[in-house]
Chain A
Amino acid sequence: MNPLLEHKLLTTRRHLLGSMAGGIGAIAMHDLLGATSGAPAPSLAADPMAARQPPLPAKAKRMIVIHLTGSPPHLDLYDHKPELTKRDGQDCPAETIAGKKFAFTSGTPKLLGTPRKWVRCGESGMELSDAIPNLHRVADKMCLVRSMFTDQFNHAPAELMVYTGSPRAGRPSLGSWATYGLGTENANLPGFVVLISSGVQPNGGTSSFGSGFLPSVYQGVQCRSKGDPVLYVSDPPGMSRAMRRKSLDALKDLNELQARELGNPETVTRIAQYELAYRMQASVPDVMDISKEPQQVLDAYGAKPGQASLANNCLLARRLVEEGVRFVHLFDWGWDFHGTGPQEDIRDGLTKKAATFDKPAAALIEDLEQRGLLEDTLVLCTGEFGRTPFREGRTSSGGILGRDHYPDCYSVWMAGGGVKPGYVHGASDDLGFKVAHDMVHIHDLQATILHLLGFDHTKLTYRFQGRDFRLTDVHGHVVKAMLA
């Protein structure tokens, strides 16, 4: 083999071993991708998923997002408004709704106080509702933001806003930015894994975990608990592992002949990618098999091997980050509490739905902590937006209590990874219509997340169509008060 090719091959192998840690800043990263000029990456001969150090000191090395698709009723989970309860059933004051448009409500809706009971939890005294009793245990580890707001009140644009910084499709998602910036620790697994429960895709489709204009190696890889854990990871029926190895040996020999003949570095890369695929075929099913977990761990999460549940996915998230996956994004459908059916009632409906979420979410935080992972694993739990302090228009005359979409003020929480534990950031006003103080916009949340991951959000950029794009567009401020 000629010396250049040998060098390339060695370099590739080194990258695959993931040993390429150490001070690579944004500029070198661009070079790795051949991306400074926005020109096509020549061959990606160097591994774009190689683990990299971020330019700033990072508190979080990896991240797990729990997305509650549809948007949970924050006023019945996280933000207690006694004044709203007192005025339950009254008309909304004119100034709270003047000039505003709502998805399914017109006219003057009636205020809806929460039917939930509230508990002050832990040493912090964080007030949480009785719908999420398990999270009470971990309140002292949570950083609860009660002053979030966004610009969008339809599901798909709002969800794209949360994860891509823009309400329109086409931009890279948070997990793509994170893996673009940091690579991944374990080359034998995808660096950015997506797990979906409750049978429905994200509102933004695959764009909610897509790579946009970043190279497609950074798109989220959907893993499943039924069928192939990753699409096409299983050998065809009738082919044994030994047989696959034999066929790959032949493939490698033939590709090496080709590499010697033509001298194209891409061939060398391809040889390495096939070897990586072969290792993935073993490591992916292995990490996705939760039946190997001790019974008490399964019980803590409420996980049952073979099901597709949020409980299983929370446990899988822990297994994946433990194995070096950089970013795990969970989506769980069924949080659109309009009140159009009993499952969308903020009383019993919410109790039932929340039970499928708060137990595994609390278990995840405790499990991460026990394993020493919580301090550098950032967990975020959010929906697309919040829900109104009033009854949803279409369902207001029925017996089911539901709320409409609401972008102006809502709650999200984070834990671990350098956020201030047992802390409540910001507050809504008395009736929950507006942020009372310490407003946090989606772009501010994103800037803060990137800061925790070791990036200045204005500098983690990618040149596309002549412009340096970033997650936070031209906005965003790090919310310093939320940092530990």
Chain B
Amino acid sequence: MRHFVWFALAVSGWSSAVITTAAAESGPSYTRDIRGLLSNRCVRCHGPDGEDRHGGGDDGLRLDTFAGATADLGGHAAIVPGSPGESELIARITSTDPDLVMPPPEAGQPLSERDVDLLRRWIAAGAAYEPHWAYVAPRRPDVPAVVNTLWPKNDVDRFILARLEAEGLTPQPEADRVTIARRLALDLTGLPLSLAEIDAFVADPAVDAVEKLVDRLLAHHGYGEHMARQWLDLARYADSAGYADDPPRTIWGWRDWVVRAFDANMPFDQFTIRQLAGDLLPDATLDDRVATAFHRNTLTNNEGGTIDEEFRTVAVIDRVNTTMSTWMGTTMACAQCHDHKYDPLSQKEYFQLYAILNNTADADRRDEAPTERVPWEPIDTQRTAIEQEIAAIEAGIPQLKKPAPKDHAEPPEFQPARKIIDALRKKLAAMPAVTVPVMQELAGDKRRVTKIQLRGNWQNLGDEVREGVPEVFNDVAVPEGAQVDRLALAKWLVDPANPLTARVVVNRIWERFFGIGIVSTSEEFGSQGELPSHPELLDWLACELIESGWDLQAIQRLIVTSAAYRQTSKCPPDLVARDPENRLLACGPRVRLSAEVIRDQALAAAGLLSPKKGGPSVHPPQPDVGLRAAFGGGIDWQTSTGEDRYRRALYTTWRRSNPYPSMVMFDAPSREVCTIRRPRTNTPLQALVTMNDPAYVEAAQALARRMVREGGSTVADRVSHGFRLVLARHPSAAEVDRLVQLQAEVLAEYAVAPADARQMATDPLGPVPADLDIDLADLAAWTVVANVILNLDETFMCP
């Protein structure tokens, strides 16, 4: 297998200008210089799609392979290695005749002089093609040597530093302890640390204080919930079935399985196998079957007059696309209708994957069958109690075991007991069972035959295909004669020979911590994706993951204990100008928090957040909109009471047709389809949420009460306390002064407006507790101060 020599990356777009190519003088490299050029400008018409390939002979001209590009086209060839002058490709891209020039005028601008020159020099040097980097399994690269041997804390840093040194850059110093504490806590648990935990960490003299904190956070009760959030985006988890009426769906048992799996640090290969094929494991447990609900998160269409088979087909297509996106960063969707335009993935291969997923029992039914009943203690306890009562009555009067005789011949003395037992049985029958929709393989003559769907039309069928995986990737291991099933597919994905899964997984972990992946297009590793910024580091991490036994926490620990991660995010202006996306990591990450973390952080700082884990999704406050779903029930909900009002955002009921509005504004998706990467926008509507949403106003009110109750007696101390509860750090003198000034200004106004003060301090949180000795105007002023702290730019950022 070919081993690539990686040169410095050439990222397209506006960041490329700042990232110099260290090896620009050497000849053009196919991977670095040519592949993207051909892919973007030529391959759409001269590529893998045999049905729609233009030019050349009968089979069309193909420029994405050496054989295709050098094929004899009747005395000439598109590319003649070593001879740009004889290569038709060069003649065409430099032609001034609109009928001859390539790309044709309707396909955009002609190639630039630079591009033409690159192609000319590449052909002159022999036109060497290389396989796409991401389709060749990673091999553990040597860790590079660095000049500054003091900076690296582990091998991750050697890769980062080697690159910085080549660029003539030096890393930024380590961030202060408080910043590191907040960064680690938000990255690993999505929750702020308590002040006691911060103080203890800052005071810890141990040289491995950071490592110890990381270990505590990896074992923290909030870790699995935080990790699950992204997995739920990938799995398109929601509490409703989708489409117009979008009825409720009970599938939270699977969500809780995911949280438990992350908490237990389940190896990623097991995590994969159980979710894709847990039911096919020998001696599959209930948990293994529940895990398969990963692919039961697809939409079902319950609208009247739908054809179930049509939407079952849609669900299977979604499963193919989601599997390939989630595990392999590969967009298969194009190949549903035709051979892929850019990558060697045929429509036949698409339906070979489809065939693997095409034989489960679910079929777009309203009842979501098949389902598994899962234990849920509050209901199970009640059920057991009723069953015991019935048994007790039956023991006393065995006749009551049978239904009452129709002819009213029952002795009158049985009547009262009969009434009671009937009522109990009715109650038992009406008790909701908690279920989870699962994957269940069809057997025997129920099995479906898969045929290619021509142009993606489920009613227009072509040749029959057998289960299989695309040829460009590793072989799938099945015993001679056995068919490739979901279990084989799952094992194939986590086979060390699979070129993509480990890279895709470590890249997503990297992206979580640094805000941008080593491959910035974390959803696309194919030829249309971006090249990695640190290819060798990516491969090294991928090999680490596999060799560690797919230990996700080990990789996370490695990254967050690195010197690269610990750098201050304070970034000199010339560096911002040179590398605005911080791809080189000459300073620490500063990334906007997710919708969920922004909300959880506010509730936690306010002391409102409930630590309760798992169970049915809840209804935190949401404005009434007075609308119904089309053909469905109302959108408005009854706000949950007690601690369910303040659960982590993970547990908020996710209705696809109307996802929780304040989270949507912070870029949470609708979860109708697999979302690999959320955008991170910065908009005025977000400001309106955190200033005015009653949930955030309530958090400000509770935070204000904490500032008053715990913050000491002076205004400055209380300001500092509120600041620390949210941001972990102490405010500067200037910051204290500004908030003290605000408190005084606002207090003066509330002192003469008692009705306003009462509302500001108590609506919606409720009356001030009797033991909190404070004037309402003062508390209202503190609420305004708390509202400002919860709206600071720094509050929304992982520092």
A residues near B (Cβ < 8 Å) are 2-5, 30-31, 34, 36-44, 69, 101-104, 153-157, 168-170, 190, 196, 199-207, 210, 215-217, 219, 221-222, 224, 226-228, 230-240, 242-244, 246-247, 250-251, 253-255, 257-259, 261-267, 269-271, 273-274, 276-277, 280-281, 308, 333, 404-405, 464-467
- Alpha-carbon distance between A405 and B627 when the two chains are bound, in angstroms: 24
- Cβ < 8 Å to A, chain B residues 741-759: 741-742, 745-746, 749, 755-759
- Of B22-30, B285-293, B298-306, the one contacting chain A is B298-306
Query: Contacts A40-B515, A103-B305, A216-B681; is A234 near B657 (CB within 8 Å)?
Result: no
- B738 lies within 8 A of A38 (CB): no
Nearest B residue to A255, CB-CB: B793
B684's contact among A36, A104, A238, A273, by CB below 8 Å, is which? A273
Query: Contacts A40-B677, A200-B628, A255-B792; is A465 near B570 (CB within 8 Å)?
Result: no
- Alpha-carbon distance between A153 and B307 when the two chains are bound, in angstroms: 10
- B623 lies within 8 A of A466 (CB): no
- B682 lies within 8 A of A269 (CB): yes
B693's contact among A42, A103, A232, by CB below 8 Å, is which? A232
- B630 lies within 8 A of A206 (CB): no
B685's contact among A154, A221, A263, by CB below 8 Å, is which? A221
B528's contact among A34, A44, A273, A466, by CB below 8 Å, is which? A466
- B657 lies within 8 A of A205 (CB): yes
A41's contact among B301, B662, B681, B741, by CB below 8 Å, is which? B681
Please, could you name 7 A-B residue pairs with CB atoms under 8 Å apart, sorted by A? A155-B303, A231-B689, A236-B760, A239-B756, A254-B792, A262-B571, A270-B682
Give the chain A neighbours of B688 by CB distance below 8 A: 230-233, 277, 280-281
Nearest A residue to B515, CB-CB: A40
Over the window 630-650 of chain B, the binary record of Cβ atoms lying under 8 Å from chain A Cβ atoms (1 yes, 0 no) is 110001000000000000000
Residue B581 CB within 8 A of the other chain:
yes
- A37 lies within 8 A of B521 (CB): yes
- B629 lies within 8 A of A200 (CB): yes
Give the chain A neighbours of B761 by CB distance below 8 A: 238
- B520 lies within 8 A of A170 (CB): no
- Alpha-carbon distance between A422 and B66 when the two chains are bound, in angstroms: 58
Most buried by B among A233, A265, A266, A280: A266
User: How far is the CB of B524 from the nearest CB of chain A, in Å?
Assistant: 4
Q: How large is the interface on B (under 10, 10 to 19, 20 to 34, 35 or more residues)?
A: 35 or more
Query: Contacts A103-B306, A263-B576; is A235 near B684 (CB within 8 Å)?
Result: no
Residue B137 CB within 8 A of the other chain:
no
B683's contact among A168, A232, A263, A273, by CB below 8 Å, is which? A273
Residue B297 CB within 8 A of the other chain:
no
User: How far is the CB of B518 from the nearest CB of chain A, in Å?
Assistant: 12
User: How far is the CB of B732 from the nearest CB of chain A, in Å?
Assistant: 7
- Cβ < 8 Å to A, chain B residues 609-630: 623-630
Query: Contacts A37-B521, A39-B581; is A231 near B623 (CB within 8 Å)?
Result: yes
Most buried by B among A34, A264, A267: A264
- Alpha-carbon distance between A306 and B577 when the two chains are bound, in angstroms: 51
- A247 lies within 8 A of B784 (CB): yes
Residue B569 CB within 8 A of the other chain:
yes
- Alpha-carbon distance between A467 and B627 when the two chains are bound, in angstroms: 36
- B658 lies within 8 A of A217 (CB): no
Most buried by B among A40, A153, A206, A246: A40
Nearest A residue to B575, CB-CB: A263
Give the chain A neighbours of B672 by CB distance below 8 A: 168-170, 207
Residue B157 CB within 8 A of the other chain:
no
- B304 lies within 8 A of A239 (CB): no
- Alpha-carbon distance between A266 and B301 when the two chains are bound, in angstroms: 41
- B630 lies within 8 A of A333 (CB): yes
User: How far is the CB of B683 from the nearest CB of chain A, in Å?
Assistant: 5
Nearest A residue to B582, CB-CB: A42
- A238 lies within 8 A of B760 (CB): yes
- B739 lies within 8 A of A250 (CB): yes
User: How far is the CB of A241 from the nearest CB of chain B, in Å?
Assistant: 12
- B749 lies within 8 A of A273 (CB): no
- A466 lies within 8 A of B682 (CB): no
- B679 lies within 8 A of A201 (CB): no
User: How far is the CB of B161 from the nearest CB of chain A, in Å?
Assistant: 22
A232's contact among B244, B627, B691, by CB below 8 Å, is which? B691
B658's contact among A201, A238, A267, by CB below 8 Å, is which? A201
User: How far is the CB of B86 from the nearest CB of chain A, in Å?
Assistant: 33
Query: Contacts A40-B677, A40-B679, A217-B683; is A155 near B662 (CB within 8 Å)?
Result: no
- Alpha-carbon distance between A246 and B526 when the two chains are bound, in angstroms: 52
- A206 lies within 8 A of B670 (CB): yes
Residue B276 CB within 8 A of the other chain:
no
Residue B763 CB within 8 A of the other chain:
yes
Residue B787 CB within 8 A of the other chain:
yes
User: How far is the CB of A233 from the nearest CB of chain B, in Å?
Assistant: 6
Give the chain A neighbours of B625 by CB distance below 8 A: 222, 224, 227
A277's contact among B318, B526, B657, B685, by CB below 8 Å, is which? B685
Over the window 671-702 of chain B, the binary record of Cβ atoms lying under 8 Å from chain A Cβ atoms (1 yes, 0 no) is 01100010111111111110111100100000
Give the chain B neighbours of A242 by CB distance below 8 A: 749
- Cβ < 8 Å to A, chain B residues 688-730: 688-689, 691-694, 697
Give the chain A neighbours of B570 by CB distance below 8 A: 261-263
Over the window 770-799 of chain B, the binary record of Cβ atoms lying under 8 Å from chain A Cβ atoms (1 yes, 0 no) is 000000000010001001100111101100
Nearest A residue to B242, CB-CB: A169
Nearest B residue to A268, CB-CB: B793
Nearest B residue to A219, CB-CB: B664
- A3 lies within 8 A of B521 (CB): no
- A69 lies within 8 A of B630 (CB): yes
Query: Contacts A270-B793, A277-B688; is A227 near B623 (CB within 8 Å)?
Result: yes
Most buried by B among A2, A69, A216, A405: A216
- B687 lies within 8 A of A274 (CB): yes
B692's contact among A41, A234, A265, by CB below 8 Å, is which? A234
Give the chain A neighbours of B306 by CB distance below 8 A: 103, 154
- Alpha-carbon distance between A258 and B570 when the two chains are bound, in angstroms: 10
- B784 lies within 8 A of A235 (CB): no
Query: Contacts A156-B301, A270-B682, A465-B523; is A210 near B793 (CB within 8 Å)?
Result: no
Nearest 7 pairs of A and B residues by beta carbon: A205-B657, A103-B305, A466-B528, A238-B759, A238-B760, A169-B672, A277-B687
Known: A40-B515, A264-B571, A466-B521. 18 other contacts (CB 8 A): A3-B573, A34-B14, A36-B14, A38-B529, A43-B580, A154-B305, A168-B673, A201-B635, A210-B670, A232-B685, A237-B760, A238-B756, A250-B741, A263-B573, A277-B687, A465-B523, A466-B524, A467-B528
